[in-house]
Structure 1
């Protein structure tokens, strides 16, 4: 069952790779938080964590301009941002060539 918090768990880990394995060992991935003074670690962790939002040295920073939604079993689609519009659209691709070998019978001459 997905827990809505805020919830903070404190677990020991030996290195960054193990911390990522522990954090990603879940069926859910709505949001995650990283607290560090190391910018490289913040970016690496943000990239590796299977979560729709990763807050670094902050919590619950949101904007209607930024998409919000989870990974895995934490929802489908995104709220806010341009990505939210996808739920209201249907994409179609049309390929058209203006080079015709034969005259078009529907064009008046």
Structure 2
């Protein structure tokens, strides 16, 4: 279904029938985009399974557009260009390096694990 495969930015509500939750998750993931997903359910187990199954950078359960500057925001697949906000966004600009310094002046045996 085309509406489920495209990245729609607008006030659109799609009602798509499905037989079981696995099929619902498959329909939601059958898209080259994955900015955000919404799950509306009273079943917390289904909500957690859906959040784990959704290929989206943000999953809202029984709410919409909850955001925080402390939480990373960004999409999966072809949605977005990485993460905004939160510690994860800062890590996008960092490069990790490990440095070992012998402060005791002793030459260590390089073949012994310390």
Instruction: Specify the TM-score bucket, using the shorter chain as the normaliser.
Output: 0.7 to 0.9
2:85 aligned with 1:90: no
In structure 1, list runs of 5 or more residues that go unmatched.
Answer: 103-109
Offset, 1:88: 2.4
Match of 2:3 in 1: none
Match of 1:29 in 2: 34
The C-alpha deviation readout for 1:47-92, integer Å capped at 9, x for no partner, is 1000000000000000001100000000232111101112322222
- The one of 16, 38, 42 equivalent to 2:21 is 16
Structure 2 CA distance, aligned partners of 1:6 and 1:68?
20
Q: Number of aligned residue pairs: give it.
A: 101
Larger radius of gyration: 1
- The one of 37, 43, 48 equivalent to 1:38 is 43
Match of 2:63 in 1: 58
> Could you say if the C-alpha distance between residues 6 and 93 of structure 1 is closer, same or farther in structure 2, counting changes exceeding 3 Å?
farther
With structure 1 as the length reference, what TM-score do the two structures score? 0.83
Offset, 1:93: 2.6
In structure 2, list runs of 5 or more residues that go unmatched.
Answer: 1-5, 110-114
With structure 2 as the length reference, what TM-score do the two structures score? 0.80
Offset, 1:97: 6.3
Structure 2 CA distance, aligned partners of 1:88 and 1:97?
25
Structure 1 CA distance, aligned partners of 2:96 and 2:13?
40
